[in-house]
């Protein structure tokens, strides 16, 4: 969902950068030193997953894993995603520097939203089915909200981008399902081997 350089209006770029700066500040304030290694691993996973992308007009389709980062990091997903996007822009020219704020907001804000919407499923998810469905819904909805935010970013730049915005959202429909499956698989694995990584939420390993 990288939006390329030279596409968005200055107003959209400024709003995106400002909101991202606020999100990063909150994330860094909540960061403990002992969480830095796991945060770096998740940022690297985001970096690698979104390297393989298919251009769709002014944006692109690729895996994001922002739902997984949201569940595990909460607000700390903002700095983690910012670092991944910055490296992609500098090393591979994906997205860009001027669009870094908007691209980060479009991917990190859904991660935080889904953390609050679906985090309860990890706290009380003693039942295997509840846990799995909640994690799947988180991965799916994170991509859905990201697609909608990308569409709004294009639309607020100019109504001429409305067809492209619709294409971006539609093109991510299969990605939503894939992300849901990957998120569920990852958190189920973590539930068995290292449940404390799920944002400090202890998830009982036994299911009833």
Structure confidence at residue 128 (pLDDT): 78
Yes or no: say if 166 and 195 are a contact pair by the CB < 8 Å rule.
Answer: no
Structure confidence at residue 53 (pLDDT): 65
Q: CA 108 to CA 66: how far, in whole Å? A: 7
According to DSSP, the residues that pair with 55 across neighbouring strands are: 60
Measured in degrees and rounded to the nearest 5, phi and psi for residue 110 equal -60, -30
Beta strands in 36-187 (DSSP E): 53-56, 59-62
CATH number for the segment(s) 10-197? 1.10.1760.20
Which tokens hold the place of 108? 């990190």
Read off the pTM. 0.83
Helix (H, G, I), strand (E, B) or coil at 93: coil
CA–centroid distance for 173 within its chain: 15
Per-residue model confidence as pLDDT tens for the chain (208 residues)? 678 788 889 999 999 999 999 999 999 998 888 888 888 888 888 888 777 666 665 556 678 889 989 988 889 999 999 999 998 888 877 777 899 999 999 999 999 999 999 887 776 556 778 888 988 999 999 999 998 898 889 888 888 888 877 887 787 788 889 889 989 998 888 878 776 666 454 344 444 3
* Torsion region of 96: left, alpha or beta (phi above 0 gives left; psi -120 to 50 gives alpha): left
Structure confidence at residue 6 (pLDDT): 82
Q: CA 153 to CA 62: how far, in whole Å? A: 18
Sketch the domain layout of the chain as residue ranges.
10-197
* Torsion region of 74: left, alpha or beta (phi above 0 gives left; psi -120 to 50 gives alpha): left
Q: CA 205 to CA 163: how far, in whole Å? A: 47
Helix (H) / strand (E) containing 142: helix 128-157
């Amino acid at each position: 969902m990288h939006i390329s350089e030279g596409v968005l209006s200055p107003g959209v770029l400024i709003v995106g950068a400002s909101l991202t700066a606020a999100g990063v500040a909150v994330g860094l304030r909540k960061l403990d030193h002992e969480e830095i290694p796991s945060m770096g691993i998740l940022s690297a996973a985001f970096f690698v997953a979104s390297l393989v992308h298919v251009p769709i007009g002014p944006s692109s389709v690729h895996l994001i894993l922002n739902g997984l980062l949201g569940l595990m990091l909460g607000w700390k997903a903002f700095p983690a995603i910012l670092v991944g996007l910055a490296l992609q822009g500098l090393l591979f020219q994906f997205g860009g520097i001027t669009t870094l704020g908007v691209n980060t907001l479009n991917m990190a804000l859904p991660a935080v939203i889904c953390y609050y919407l679906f985090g309860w499923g990890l706290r009380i998810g003693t039942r295997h089915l509840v846990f799995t469905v909640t994690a799947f819904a988180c991965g799916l909805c994170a991509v859905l909200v990201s697609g909608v935010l990308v569409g709004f970013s294009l639309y607020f730049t100019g109504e001429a981008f409305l067809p492209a915005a619709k294409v971006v959202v539609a093109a991510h429909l299969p990605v939503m399902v894939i992300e849901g499956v990957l998120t569920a698989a990852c958190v189920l694995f973590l539930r068995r081997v290292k449940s404390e990584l799920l944002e400090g939420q202890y998830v009982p390993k036994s299911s009833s």
